[in-house]
Amino acid sequence: MDVNRYIAHRNETSGAVQTVKEHCENTAELCRDFSIPELKDFMYAVGLLHDVGKFQDSFVKRINGANIKVEHSICGALAAKEKYAVPPPMALMMEYCISGHHSGIPDGGFPNDDMDKSTLCGRLKREYEDYSEYKDELALPELNGFEWMTYLFRDCDNRMEKVIDKFAFLTRYVFSCLVDADSIDTADFCKERELPRKLNADFSACLQKVDDRLNAFVCKTELQRARAALQNQAFQNMNQDSEIYLLNMPTGSGKTLASVKIALERALAKEKKRIIYVIPYNSIIEQTAEVFEGLFGDSLEILRHQSTFSYEEEENGSEDYREAAKTAAENWDAPFIITTAVQFFESIYANKRGKLRKLHNMADSILIFDEAHLMPQDYLQPCLQAVAYITRYLHSEAVFLTATMPDFEKLMKEYALPDSKIVKLIKDTSLFTKFQKCGYRYIGEISSSELLAKCCAYPSSLIIVNKKATARELYQECGGKKYHLSTYMTSYDRKRILKEIRKELKQLEADYPEYQNVPEDRRITIISTSLIEAGVDLDVYTVFRERSGLDSILQAGGRCNREGKRQEADVFIFDLAEETRQAASNEKASLTKGLLKNYEDISDVRCIEEYYSRLYFMRAEDIQKNSMHQLCSDLDSIPFKEYAEKFELIDSRQVSLVVPQDAQSEKLVEVMKYSKVGNVRKLQNYTCSVRQKELEDLIRQHAADDYGTGIYCLTNMDYYDECKGVLFEAPDYFLS
């Protein structure tokens, strides 16, 4: 039989064809290249088998122009089940990956699923044409099933729940290698132009620039000497080999610079392929990226991957850089990546090829988790497991970076791998007191009018509250020079207002260096939700923080007397009289109330340790409730698709609303309105966040529409105020 009749791809421009044999062998080679050493032969077999369904005669007709639908993915799964039947879990992992290499890893399903079900069990019952020609064309390797099973069961203590979680992770990893190899070989054959170059990095040159920056700092003051001593302590301890490093450093001690030096040192010493910097929020990425771009210059091309950033709109850099970055964002084949925790963890726990392509490129990497304490409690076990598995099985290293460090050693032992190798980079915390630039005072219950009167006595005040509605009400009640920040406002307006705030604060300090006799009309009041706490570079005279979790309060304190120019500064913790009942039901806020009674200084390391101990080790069921093993009891029925669809680190009850605010956004909305296609990434800068019920209210008032796209836009600008954000009644309806 002529094997050349079995065609995998046809280049529409040149007319050239790629046979199924060529494509399968190319994909297998790439799979082996991508794979960790322990799975190279296994990955080669997966790559060879993935497209054997294209040996069906119906696919031959389709590739030659017949308008027919041909399912080919499940054939490779059936072939794997036949060839590698022993041990069953080895074939099963292949079946999950190969059957889903186009549509996504399916749910395992159950033995009684009929062929109409989209589960693996259901699809395996379907009938297909003869595709056995692959046996003559592809040389399948023999695999050592005993070694494979030993690898799977390692570190699982013969506990089925641990086997399920590890099997699920490795399945997604294998799938990642397969779909990226498949995509790359297909794109390489079908390319109509030269593929973009890869992003460049010179880690040695970058490290030299970091060292030059650190050496340029003058250590005259006690604070400066303490900062240098802490950093040197971390640098000395980083030479110990480990899987996970804990970098616990106070706000203002130079954590960011220290972390990137550690990442570069470890990457060079251990010949790691890339550094991935994981940041909790979109709002912080821009600031971090600017710091690194300014520091590294042309020694490093950074890949930013976040929902609010589009390389199509990026004005800096050359066209070939933008093309290279857009391509690298698909699979993270780049030397230095800055991304969000949402992108990182949702990519690991996805089931679709678009997201999972990145997972295999997290191997042989250095991972930095900025503000690591912000990993969500409801998904803490899956997040910790992901880090443990990537560092143990994919041979990466991780650094957890925060000023308020939970007991990650105990958490890893309890909820991930009991023997993860963990090194504390800061063992002596006695210098932490040198960075205490403010005192924390609990003032109890206070009314909103009393709060505003109290804050007006200071040159600049930052009030942080727990609810967006509260922030808006306080802003409306407040007088004088005032600013408001919440996610009711678009990113476009928040950036504008933050820029204005920094300018005003700088001018205030220039005009009144000692902050003496500041006239009433120059005093600044900023009212915000918690979005301002993590990574937003502001320095105000006094902070007022509504009682919440201890970590949030200490983060808020980082905005007070940030540069340490004054001997004394205050952070006032309060309960709003109007919100007392809700505060009582908040677990984190309740924990904090007890600590405020027991500790004179809540920034004390012992207080932080007690807070996290009570938060994490008294609510074990919350931490474990979203782990894969909670949803199934065996490997055959793992619900990959169902789990991926439910895995959300961001509250899905919050929905995005586009607010057209300039010519560009108006044009984007206009195009969406008539084409019924919206560019979500380009519109991100113009979105605010509302609850589902609030959106429904706007729709009922004919103030919002999605034009059939699922992307809701504000259609009546009377419902938006550039200082307060989205309104839920038009101004005409307010009664005086």
pLDDT, tens digit, 9 for 90 and up, residues 139-198: 999 999 999 999 999 999 999 999 999 999 999 999 999 999 999 999 888 875 566 778
Which of 8-22, 525-539, 673-687 comes out lowest in average pLDDT? 673-687
Phi, psi of 245 (to 5 degrees): -115, 140
Tell whether the model's pLDDT for residue 326 goes beyond 70.
Answer: no
CA distances from 554 to 90, 535, 550, 607 (A): 48, 13, 6, 11
Q: Per-residue confidence at 585, pLDDT binned at 50, 70, 90? A: low
State the residue for tokens 């609030």.
Answer: 694
Query: Mean per-residue pLDDT for 3-32?
Result: 88
Q: Residue 304 belongs to a domain with what CATH number?
A: 3.40.50.300
Query: Mean per-residue pLDDT for 34-44?
Result: 97
Give the pLDDT of residue 315: 44
Query: Mean per-residue pLDDT for 434-451?
Result: 92
Closest CA to 386 of 424, 407, 356: 356
Instruction: Please check whether residue 649 lies inside any domain of the structure.
Output: no
Boundary-marking domain end, from 402, 432, 462: 432
Q: Give dist(CA 734, CA 146) in Å, integer.
A: 74
Instruction: Please check whether residue 476 lies inside any domain of the structure.
Output: yes
CA distances from 511 to 215, 349, 455, 500, 563 (A): 33, 53, 20, 16, 18
Q: What is the DSSP letter of 250?
A: -
Phi, psi of 157 (to 5 degrees): 55, 30
Longest dimension (CA), the chain: 94
Give the pLDDT of residue 316: 47
| Shared domain check, 387 and 481 | no
Instruction: Please check whether residue 106 lies inside any domain of the structure.
Output: yes
Give the pLDDT of residue 2: 56
pTM for the full predicted model = 0.88
Q: Give dist(CA 109, CA 575) in Å, integer.
A: 50
Tell whether the model's pLDDT for residue 734 goes beyond 50.
Answer: no
| Shared domain check, 720 and 583 | no
Name the percent of the chain lying above pLDDT 70: 93
* CB 254 within 8 Å of CB 316: no
Report the half-sphere exposure of 506 (CA within 13 A, side-chain side).
7
- The residue that leads in pLDDT, 76 or 653, is 76
Boundary-marking domain end, from 169, 190, 211: 190
| Shared domain check, 442 and 578 | yes
Q: Per-residue confidence at 283, pLDDT binned at 50, 70, 90? A: low
Q: What is the DSSP letter of 210?
A: H
Give the pLDDT of residue 578: 77
Amino acid at 124: L
Radius of gyration of the chain (CA): 28
Give the pLDDT of residue 424: 97
Any idea of the CA torsion for 235, 237, 242, 244, to the nearest 10 degrees?
Answer: -70
Tokens linked to 271 = 């010949």
* CB 328 within 8 Å of CB 228: no
Q: Give dist(CA 64, CA 82) in Å, integer.
A: 30
Q: Residue 166 belongs to a domain with what CATH number?
A: 1.10.3210
Q: Residue 524 in 3-state DSSP?
A: strand
Give the pLDDT of residue 673: 86
Tell whether the model's pLDDT for residue 259 goes beyond 80.
Answer: yes
Q: Give dist(CA 706, CA 484) in Å, integer.
A: 28
Q: Per-residue confidence at 312, pLDDT binned at 50, 70, 90? A: very low
| Shared domain check, 467 and 530 | yes
Any idea of the CA torsion for 469, 472, 476, 477, to the nearest 10 degrees?
Answer: 60
| Shared domain check, 540 and 408 | no
Give the pLDDT of residue 533: 78
Instruction: Please check whether residue 344 lies inside any domain of the structure.
Output: yes
In whole numbers, what is the pLDDT of the chain averaged over residues? 89
Instruction: Please check whether residue 338 lies inside any domain of the structure.
Output: yes
Tell whether the model's pLDDT for residue 308 goes beyond 50.
Answer: no
Query: Mean per-residue pLDDT for 640-664?
Result: 85
Give the pLDDT of residue 597: 93
Which of 59-63, 200-204, 554-558, 614-618 comes out lowest in average pLDDT? 614-618
Q: Give dist(CA 370, CA 554) in Å, integer.
A: 16
CA distances from 324 to 200, 211, 213, 275, 473 (A): 10, 29, 29, 17, 46
| Shared domain check, 391 and 341 | yes
Which of 204-208, 232-236, 369-373, 683-687 comes out lowest in average pLDDT? 683-687
> Checking DSSP bridges between strand 422-424 and strand 244-248, what pairing results, if any?
parallel
Q: How many beta carbons lie within 10 A of that of residue 310, not counting itself?
A: 19
| Shared domain check, 64 and 184 | yes
- The residue that leads in pLDDT, 310 or 622, is 622
| Shared domain check, 68 and 154 | yes
Instruction: Please check whether residue 633 lies inside any domain of the structure.
Output: no
| Shared domain check, 232 and 137 | no
Instruction: Please check whether residue 511 lies inside any domain of the structure.
Output: yes
* Domain extent at residue 235: 203-432
Instruction: Please check whether residue 609 lies inside any domain of the structure.
Output: no
Q: Give dist(CA 246, CA 398) in Å, integer.
A: 9
| Shared domain check, 166 and 76 | yes
Q: Give dist(CA 608, CA 553) in Å, integer.
A: 11
Q: Per-residue confidence at 692, pLDDT binned at 50, 70, 90? A: confident
* CB 463 within 8 Å of CB 455: yes
CA 670 from centroid of its chain's CA atoms: 31
Give the pLDDT of residue 602: 93
Closest CA to 562 of 491, 523, 509: 509
Give the pLDDT of residue 581: 61
Give the pLDDT of residue 56: 93
Q: Per-residue confidence at 567, pLDDT binned at 50, 70, 90? A: confident
Give the pLDDT of residue 192: 56
Name the percent of the chain lying above pLDDT 90: 67
Tell whether the model's pLDDT for residue 1 goes beyond 50.
Answer: no
Query: Mean per-residue pLDDT for 547-565?
Result: 87
**∠ Cα 97 102 103 (to 5°):** 90
Tell whether the model's pLDDT for residue 123 goes beyond 50.
Answer: yes
Q: Give dist(CA 466, CA 550) in Å, integer.
A: 13
Boundary-marking domain end, from 405, 432, 459: 432
Give the pLDDT of residue 309: 44
Query: Mean per-residue pLDDT for 304-324?
Result: 53
**Number of structural domains in the chain:** 4
Handedness of CA 416, 419, 421, 424 (dihedral sign): positive
| Shared domain check, 78 and 123 | yes
Tell whether the model's pLDDT for residue 475 goes beyond 60.
Answer: yes
| Shared domain check, 588 and 562 | yes
Give the pLDDT of residue 370: 93
